[in-house]
Chains A and B, each alone.
Chain A
Amino acid sequence: MNRVVITGAGTVNALGGNVQQTLEAMREGCSGISQLEFRDVDRLSVKIGGQARGFDGARHFDSQKIVQYDRFTQLTLVAAREAMEQSGLIFSGELAETAGVVLGTAAGGINTWDDNFRSVYEDGKNRVHPLVVPKLMNNAATSHVSMEFNLQGPSLTVSTACASSNHAIGLAFQMVRSGMTRAMIAGGSESMLTFGGIKAWEGLRVMSKSACRPFSANRSGMVQGEGAGVFVLETYVDAKVRGADILAEIVGFSMTSDASHIVMPSKHGAARAMRGALLDAKMDMTDVGYINAHGTGTSANDKTECAAIVDVFGAHSDKLMISSTKSMHGHLIGGTGAVELLACVMALRDGVIAPTIGHEIADPDCALDVVPNIARNAKVKVVVSNAFAFGGMNAVLALKRV
């Protein structure tokens, strides 16, 4: 069994165009949520979101490439380039033949779907661009990452709604740990901030029109974000031999299914996933100092998640710090676990716990230390990252300081 470490990280999201900007914003408790800007936004009742506003694909890709890339692929590739540059890893020879990429996304190329449906249904056109299918397919981002970095081993896209990225990172972790491959790229992305994307979510009536306030008694629902988070995973030994800068070690992963309800979360499913990750990591629950919560800012999630944490950690839950960075970057759905993993790395490496911003009134059903509004300096040894998806699919990662 190999030890698995992270040696590169990259991101684009509402808080910034790279990891440094994102972590600075998290430290400062900045919000990346603002008024949405896209076609027909006036016909939506929910008009806020965490758009990656500064991101312009044309600055990163030439015109021949960009016609192949939906926005979710563009965001992924830019994040992957940052992660690869930081890791210093080059995929060639035998390593290239065995290394791969696993990425999560829920809606894949929904911008492409949206634009082309509009074109054929609303505008009545009878012809679409020849590359619509390879642009919108959910594995497009994964494929383009494999091509750009010469990854010829196991590559796949995972789609488990809000848990997609944690599942993707966890699967890549298992592949490296088991010795199936020595290195993997993993993470996820989402770009669902389109008229159709938001309209679909409006239907569920769990979206806030004002702000994302996880664990706050006056919460009004979730706020969507967009972006990507990508990581380079490799064996501890390889990283040491290369003299790579190790950002953190992934030590545990667990997946469970609630098998109960298509949208309502289950305390038991969430608790079993957290317990499973600690068991897999061979860590005691008292080793854990910080949990990056799923923390969507919906009543159903927040109360269930806090109850699950208390269930797993018992008396130790009072000593834990728990925060939801969705309050700042929004809920990136299939990409969310990847961006949130950055907060975990910051906690382990820099000793800074990202806050839950927008927290105004304590909720007795969430009576835990949710690191309200202001980041905190604290040394933590082990952190846990939660992701609980619609459909009852849960994926929890455990990471350790190296």
Chain B
Amino acid sequence: MSVEDKIILIIAEQGLLDVTDVNLEATLDELGIDSLGVVESIFAIEEEFDIEVPFNANAPEKSDFDISSVGSIVVAVEKLVAEQI
């Protein structure tokens, strides 16, 4: 399973959605994931990929980790995974 597929699965689970309902352009807000859901999704991502995600819920827009869309999360996670190797 690719990084993209895994992230879509995590976000779908968090939003109680079918994976086919999660596209890369969607924002988490559009998928019905609130701030607590964001923090839970990031935890699930950290566990899945064994990475540390730099994210402060006080100022998501200022975090180094771009969560503005599903696609941006995929890119950010791919970068973190690559850095780890």
Contact = CB atoms under 8 A, between A and B. Distances in A.
A264 B58 CA distance: 12
Contacts of A206: 56-58
A220 B55 CA distance: 11
B43 A299 contact: no
A298 B36 CA distance: 14
Q: Tell me the dominant secondary structure on chain A's binding face.
A: loop
Nearest to B57: A205
Interface of A: 45, 203-206, 208, 219-221, 261-264, 298-300
Nearest to A264: B35
A33 B39 CA distance: 26
Contacts, number: 35
Given A203-B43, A205-B42, A263 B36 contact: yes
B36 A221 contact: no
24 contacts: A203-B39, A203-B43, A204-B39, A204-B57, A205-B39, A205-B42, A205-B57, A206-B56, A206-B57, A208-B58, A219-B58, A220-B56, A221-B56, A221-B57, A261-B36, A262-B36, A263-B36, A264-B35, A264-B36, A298-B57, A298-B58, A299-B57, A300-B35, A300-B58
A205 B36 contact: no
Nearest to B38: A205
Given A221-B56, A221-B58, A264-B34, 7 more contacts: A204-B57, A205-B39, A205-B42, A205-B57, A221-B57, A264-B35, A298-B58
Nearest to A209: B56
Nearest to A221: B58
Contacts of A220: 56, 58-59
Q: Which of B35, B55, B56, B59 has the most CB of A within 10 A?
A: B56
Contacts of B56: 205-206, 220-221
Contact of B58 (A261, A263, A299): A299
Contacts of B39: 203-205
A148 B42 CA distance: 48
A217 to B, nearest CB: 10
Q: Which of B43, B52, B58 has the most CB of A within 10 A?
A: B58
Nearest to A298: B58
A355 B25 CA distance: 45
A304 to B, nearest CB: 12
Contacts of B35: 264, 300
Interface of B: 34-36, 39, 42-43, 52, 55-59
A63 to B, nearest CB: 43
Contacts of A261: 36
Nearest to B39: A205
A356 to B, nearest CB: 16
Contacts of B36: 261-264
A45 B55 CA distance: 12
B61 to A, nearest CB: 10
Contacts of B34: 264
Nearest to A205: B57
A299 B55 contact: no
A258 to B, nearest CB: 14
Contacts of A45: 52
Contacts of A263: 36
Q: What are the 6 A-B residue pairs with the smallest beta carbon separation, nearest first?
A: A205-B57, A299-B58, A221-B58, A206-B57, A205-B39, A298-B58
Given A262-B36, A263-B36, A264-B36, A205 B59 contact: no
A298 B35 CA distance: 13
Contacts of A205: 39, 42, 55-57
A208 B42 CA distance: 18
Contacts of B43: 203
Contacts of A203: 39, 43
A219 B59 CA distance: 9
Nearest to A296: B58
Q: Which of A205, A206, A263, A298 has the most CB of B within 10 A?
A: A205
A300 B36 CA distance: 12
A147 to B, nearest CB: 41
A88 to B, nearest CB: 45
B81 to A, nearest CB: 19
